Chains A and B, each alone.
Chain A
Amino acid sequence: MLLEVLQGTEAGGFILLQDTVSYSGRHLLKSYISTALKREEEVVHVLGFEACEKEFRDGLDRTNAQRLHFHNAYSDPLGWTGNSAFTVHQFTLEDVSTLIKQTPQAKAVTLVIDSLSWILRHHDPAAVCQRLQALKKGGAVRTVIVLVHTDMHQRGTVGSIRHLATSVVTVAPGTRGLGAVAKTTRRTKSGKLMQDEETFSINEDLSVTIHSKLSHPGHTHVNTDETEVDPTANLTFNLRLSDTERQAKEKLALPFVFSKEKKSALLQPGPGSGRILYEPDANDDYDQEDPDDDLDI
């Protein structure tokens, strides 16, 4: 689904590209621009706040470069040095429209904002949402692509922009150090939501290769966990006995069990051992019937 979003099979719309410090979404943004430039009638306008023009154009195909209009908001976005091409305060419907009208012959205009985090730092989020919505509705722009660093904003701010978007792509680093994971949520015109999770990598020429799909990651994880596990599989000791082992075990005499030999050995007095001789005294009144007669109980 990432490829479908990149290739813009569904014309128009608002694509939100979310990234964090652990994986930058700018490469994916550039590969979108590169595919957009390959389409003949497309003109791309970039509001570049975070990368200079040289860095941004680096890697993009030079043959179509004249259809990429870079508006430099990088070197002086706040008007401190007085040589700014575009300041963050110019992010209004009128100013952006005049920028786009510089190419009146264009059939399809794509507006790229790199990144919206810069604008959100200097404008009220509600105003930003309104202007984005107005741009989308205005008709001058066919597609708006916006990069946002989600870890720089409060959740609610990003959430309100997500509501505007027709497609949301969230990038994160891949689990095994290879490639990256993109979570794509797409809303079709009928209002149906489609979600997909894919691992991808970006090649030298900014084309995107999809490696695998994890369409329902939650379910697959549960299934792998539920497979029957044999607890006796990897024991360090033996639970079963072979026949020889059983015989050896039965032969063994346990130390505190009386066998016949042991009993007789203990009861047969050996030579020279002591004896008790009892000779009744005259005073002894030994009663056979009641041997305990002399006890005073």
Chain B
Amino acid sequence: MFAELNSILNSSPESFKQGEFILVSDRQTDASFLIHHFLSFYLRAGCKVCFLGLVQSFSHYSAVSQRLGVSLNQAREKGQLVFLEGLKESLGVLLQGDTSNGTPALDFLRDPSSGLRGLYDFVHGNIRGSEGRAEDWGPPVLMVDDLSVVLSLGVSVGAVLDFSHYCRATFCSELQGTMVILVRCEAEEEEEESDEGSERLQRGLTHQCSLTLQVQGLPTGYCRDIHGEVEVCWRGRCDGLQIQRKLFQYKVCDKGTLFFARGTSSAVL
């Protein structure tokens, strides 16, 4: 959890806006530090977190969270964290090939055209299942790292957008929870014309979300002291104000991330 980012987003584990859909996207760089931030943030806030880890193993997230002062193992044992380890589960689905074992969550691996309904049912079931029991966790949170990976597994952009719409209807509107989704944009500019692709997915999700954090590498290339730029963009929903943007540069450190206004890095001043 990065205190600086909390003050930028005007939130803290004690009080944060509910019903938000946060879209994290990156281009030519890696925005997973923000996923680690939000994971530790919502675990500290006492929310029930459902994490779909599609690109890394549980031990990876666990190791990073340990550094940020949150134990994923404990949270998992307490039932606060539901973790879908995509890499492990998908192996079971692909190698054994029969539907009896393994969750139906990853059914799309076998038949990409069927869409992500299985994955939604998994998420929905986990959140609904916990509702009957003691209500000791805060509003539910869904996190996905990263959603664009299902595109390369053959799922169409439309199916992914249907999935995110259902998640948004359930988490943000019905249960007043939060959603954090990471998507990766391919750097190719010429891709823009084609109708299927991560660009289109990102645009579709941007239409749905209420806050975007767009991470980009520096246009001038690699720099030791500034790792990239984050554009924070609040998309006005009910108030007449439309879109509000702020641009920061950041540097990922060992135990946190520094955010500063453009051109005010300690290496420059």
Contacts and interface: CB of A to CB of B under 8 A. Distances in A.
B243 A154 contact: no
Contacts of B240: 27, 201-204, 206
Contact of B161 (A121, A154, A206): A121
A24 B237 CA distance: 9
Interface stretch (B86-94, B166-174, B219-227): B166-174
B238 interface: yes
A13 interface: no
A55 interface: yes
A74 B237 contact: no
B78 interface: no
A107 to B, nearest CB: 31
B162 A23 contact: no
Interface in B104-161: 117, 120-121, 124, 158, 161
A85 interface: no
A22 interface: yes
Interface in B193-218: 195, 200, 203-204, 206-208
Query: Interface size class for chain B?
Result: 20 to 34
B243 A22 contact: yes
Contact of A74 (B173, B235, B236, B243): B173
A76 B120 CA distance: 12
A27 B243 CA distance: 12
Nearest to A51: B237
A182 to B, nearest CB: 13
A173 B120 contact: no
Given A50-B207, A80-B117, A180 B173 contact: no
Interface string A51-94: 01011001100000000000000111110110000000000000
Contacts of B251: none
A151 interface: yes
By secondary structure, the B interface counts as helix
Contacts of B120: 80
B91 to A, nearest CB: 27
B242 interface: yes
B203 A23 contact: no
Contacts of A23: 242-243
Nearest to B165: A77
Contacts of B203: 21, 149, 151-152
B179 to A, nearest CB: 14
Contact of B238 (A58, A121, A122, A173): A58
A201 B242 CA distance: 10
Contacts of A59: 238
A117 B204 CA distance: 10
Nearest to B208: A50
Interface string B221-256: 000000000000001111010110000000000000
Nearest to A81: B124
Nearest to B169: A75
Interface of A: 21-24, 27, 50, 52, 54-55, 58-59, 74-78, 80-81, 117, 121-122, 149, 151-152, 154, 173, 180, 201-204, 206
27 contacts: A21-B206, A23-B243, A24-B235, A24-B236, A24-B242, A27-B236, A52-B169, A55-B237, A55-B238, A74-B169, A74-B173, A75-B173, A75-B174, A76-B166, A78-B166, A81-B166, A117-B207, A121-B158, A121-B161, A121-B162, A152-B200, A152-B204, A152-B207, A154-B195, A173-B242, A201-B240, A206-B240
Given A23-B243, A24-B236, 12 more contacts: A21-B206, A21-B207, A24-B207, A24-B235, A27-B240, A52-B173, A55-B173, A81-B124, A152-B203, A152-B204, A173-B242, A180-B242
Enumerate the 5 nearest inter-chain pairs by beta-carbon distance, A residue then B residue, closest first: A52-B173, A58-B238, A21-B206, A121-B158, A75-B169
